């Protein structure tokens, strides 16, 4: 089966990208897999064929010459978010590497790299996100070990959404600290560096040893640019939905003030959560009467907390309520809740692909963080400071999105 796949992909690498779909269908049929589109293996093969075709097409194009600084690096992607990976690669100026990340007939993950990576700096873009968190994690681990056994010089994993991050401590007896266990897994397979975006808890960086530095970037500036340019805010107030997010809201407020010249206020919601996924009483600290409020959070899961927070703000006299969050999981009834809520707009970034119902929701808008991650990758590869991207007022107010800090 793998021999047949390799042969098909070899031909695909010499064909235009538009032929990749046909090639992947033929390979899936030859392997005896399920019908194309319903098989996870076929979907992985499809992405590998497209990557191989794109790589061959770019290599055959003499009009574009690769930058000498980028010759020693390669960027690869799993199946979690290939659209984001393609945008990042485009921003960096490097085509995605040729690889197949698919499934064997029994459901096991299959990884095959179709180009030489010996001595190169490898960047693997793979959020461990829904709808297949565990499969995407295994894909990432096997891609790392494949690169390590192929003699890659350095391996950086770009994990825009770090799964299991909310299990960062023991809340009750006899439960795992999963965020730390995932860090150990990544270390054990040979990861040299981790790039993440808005970790649920910044202390997760400490779960990795000193030999594996972690760059925890932030998407705040993407949201600041959006609200500064597209929303006519009146008496803006930035609201943290809990005590742990006050610093994040403070950074967002400072960026908005610098970019718009306004004097946005800051408020916080104090909530009691009797158990996971259930929000009890909420209280507001701060004044929002007659103000446009922006709730700033790191993620939206079922949207229960978000919608209750919006109701509380309106009850306290808020004029309009918006939300900016880095990761839009939109699990379970989230989209339905947002549609029926008093929220004007919910803005997220593309660390996680939007579900179909979220794409059709008028209140949900997704922005790209590819420039943030792409700039970070280029600076890491060229041995430049990542933190220099974010220092000073000029950077906070810059038109081009960048990350908050290294």
Mark whether 27 and 141 lie in a shared domain.
yes
- For residue range 15-28, what is the model confidence (pLDDT) as tens digits? 433 344 333 434 44
Question: Which pLDDT score, from 0 to 100, does residue 65 have?
Answer: 60
Mark whether 142 and 230 lie in a shared domain.
no
Catalytic residue among 271, 384, 393, 394: 271
Q: Is the peptide bond before 131 cis (omega within 30 degrees of 0)?
A: yes
Residue 28 and residue 35: Cα distance in Å, rounded? Answer: 8
Residue 259: closest CA among 297, 229, 288, 231: 229
* Residue 126 vs residues 47, 162, 195, 197, 216: alpha-carbon distances, Å: 13, 9, 10, 12, 15
The answer to whether residue 271 is catalytic is yes
DSSP string, 249-307: HHHHHHHHHHHH----EEEEEEE--SBTTB---EEEES--TT-EEEEEEEEESSSHHHH
Residue 114 and residue 273: Cα distance in Å, rounded? Answer: 49
> Rounded to the nearest 5°, which phi and psi values hold at 30?
-65, -30
Residue 99 and residue 12: Cα distance in Å, rounded? Answer: 12
Mark whether 224 and 108 lie in a shared domain.
no
Question: Which pLDDT score, from 0 to 100, does residue 67 have?
Answer: 76
Is residue 15 a part of any domain in this protein? yes
Mark whether 357 and 264 lie in a shared domain.
yes
End-to-end Cα, the chain, rounded Å: 44
Is residue 195 a part of any domain in this protein? no
Is residue 7 a part of any domain in this protein? yes
Mark whether 345 and 227 lie in a shared domain.
yes
Question: Which pLDDT score, from 0 to 100, does residue 387 have?
Answer: 82
DSSP string, 374-405: HHHHHHHHTT--SGGGS-SHHHHT-SS---S-
Question: Which pLDDT score, from 0 to 100, does residue 179 have?
Answer: 97
Is residue 192 a part of any domain in this protein? no
Identify the domain boundary among 144, 161, 178. 161
Is residue 146 a part of any domain in this protein? yes
Mark whether 148 and 27 lie in a shared domain.
yes
Q: What is the largest CA-CA distance in the chain?
A: 67
Residue 331: closest CA among 307, 352, 301: 301
Residue 30: closest CA among 50, 51, 9, 55: 9
Residue 180: closest CA among 214, 149, 148, 155: 214
Is residue 232 a part of any domain in this protein? yes
Question: Which pLDDT score, from 0 to 100, does residue 159 have?
Answer: 99
Mark whether 157 and 226 lie in a shared domain.
no
What's the predicted TM-score (pTM) here? Answer: 0.81
Total tally of structural domains belonging to the chain: 2
Residue 216 and residue 401: Cα distance in Å, rounded? Answer: 15
Domain that holds residue 281: 220-367
Question: Which pLDDT score, from 0 to 100, does residue 20 have?
Answer: 41
Going residue by residue through the chain (406 aa), what tens digit of pLDDT does each one get? 444 433 333 333 434 333 443 334 344 444 443 333 334 444 454 455 445 444 444 444 433 566 778 999 999 999 999 999 999 999 999 999 999 999 999 999 999 999 999 999 999 999 999 999 999 999 999 999 999 999 999 999 999 999 999 999 998 899 999 999 999 999 999 999 999 999 998 899 999 999 999 999 999 999 999 999 999 999 999 999 999 899 999 999 999 999 999 999 999 999 876 666 566 789 999 999 999 999 999 999 999 999 999 999 999 999 999 999 999 999 999 999 999 999 999 999 999 999 999 999 999 999 999 999 999 999 999 999 888 777 654 433 333 333 333 3
Is residue 182 a part of any domain in this protein? no
* CATH number of the CATH domain containing 318: 3.40.50.2020
Q: Which residues pair with 271 in a beta bridge?
A: 282
Residue 161: closest CA among 318, 390, 348, 342: 348
Question: Which pLDDT score, from 0 to 100, does residue 392 have?
Answer: 53
Mark whether 276 and 347 lie in a shared domain.
yes
Residue 66's contacts (CB-CB under 8 Å, 6 or more residues apart) are 93, 94
Identify the domain boundary among 161, 193, 211. 161
* CATH number of the CATH domain containing 39: 3.40.50
Is residue 199 a part of any domain in this protein? no
Query: 206: which 2 tokens?
Result: 């400490």
Cα torsion 305, 203, 294, 336 to 10°: value is -30
Mark whether 225 and 111 lie in a shared domain.
no
Question: Which pLDDT score, from 0 to 100, does residue 33 have?
Answer: 38
Residue 236 and residue 318: Cα distance in Å, rounded? Answer: 10
């Amino acid at each position: 089966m793998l021999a047949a796949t390799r042969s098909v992909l070899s031909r695909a690498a010499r064909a235009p990208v538009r032929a990749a779909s046909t090639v992947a269908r033929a390979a899936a049929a030859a392997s005896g897999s399920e019908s194309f589109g319903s098989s996870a293996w076929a979907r992985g093969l499809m992405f590998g064929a497209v990557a191989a075709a794109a790589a061959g097409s770019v290599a055959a194009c003499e009009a574009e010459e690769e930058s000498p600084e980028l010759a020693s690096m390669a960027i690869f992607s799993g199946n979690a978010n290939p659209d984001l990976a393609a945008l990042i690669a485009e921003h960096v100026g490097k085509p995605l590497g040729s690889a197949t990340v698919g499934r064997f007939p029994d459901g096991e993950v299959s990884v095959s790299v179709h180009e030489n990576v010996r001595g190169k700096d490898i960047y693997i873009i793979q959020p461990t996100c829904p709808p297949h968190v565990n499969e995407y994690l295994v894909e990432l681990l096997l891609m790392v070990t494949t690169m390590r056994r192929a003699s890659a010089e350095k391996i950086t994993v770009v994990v825009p959404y770090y799964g299991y991050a909310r299990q960062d401590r023991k809340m009750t007896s006899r439960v795992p600290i999963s965020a730390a266990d995932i860090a150990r897994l990544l270390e054990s397979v040979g990861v040299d560096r981790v790039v993440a975006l808005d970790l649920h808890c910044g202390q997760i960086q400490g779960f990795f040893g000193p030999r594996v530095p972690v760059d925890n970037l932030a998407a705040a500036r993407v949201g600041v640019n959006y609200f500064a340019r597209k929303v006519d805010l009146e008496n803006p107030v930035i609201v943290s939905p809990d005590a742990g997010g006050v610093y994040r809201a403070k950074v967002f407020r400072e960026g908005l003030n610098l970019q718009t010249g306004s004097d946005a206020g800051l408020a916080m919601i104090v909530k009691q959560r009797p158990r996971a996924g259930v929000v009890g009483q909420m209280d507001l600290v701060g004044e929002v009467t007659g103000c446009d409020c922006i709730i700033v959070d790191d993620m939206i899961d079922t949207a229960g907390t978000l919608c209750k927070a919006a109701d509380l703000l309106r009850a306290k006299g808020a004029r309009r309520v918006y939300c900016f969050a880095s990761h839009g999981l939109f699990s379970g009834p989230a989209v339905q809740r947002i549609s029926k809520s008093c929220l004007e707009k919910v803005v997220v970034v593309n660390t996680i692909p939007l579900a179909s119902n979220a794409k059709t929701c008028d209140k949900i808008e997704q922005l790209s963080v590819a420039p943030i991650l792409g700039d970070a990758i280029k600076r890491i590869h060229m041995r430049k400071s990542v933190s220099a991207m974010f220092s000073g007022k000029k950077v906070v107010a810059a038109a081009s999105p960048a990350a908050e800090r290294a």
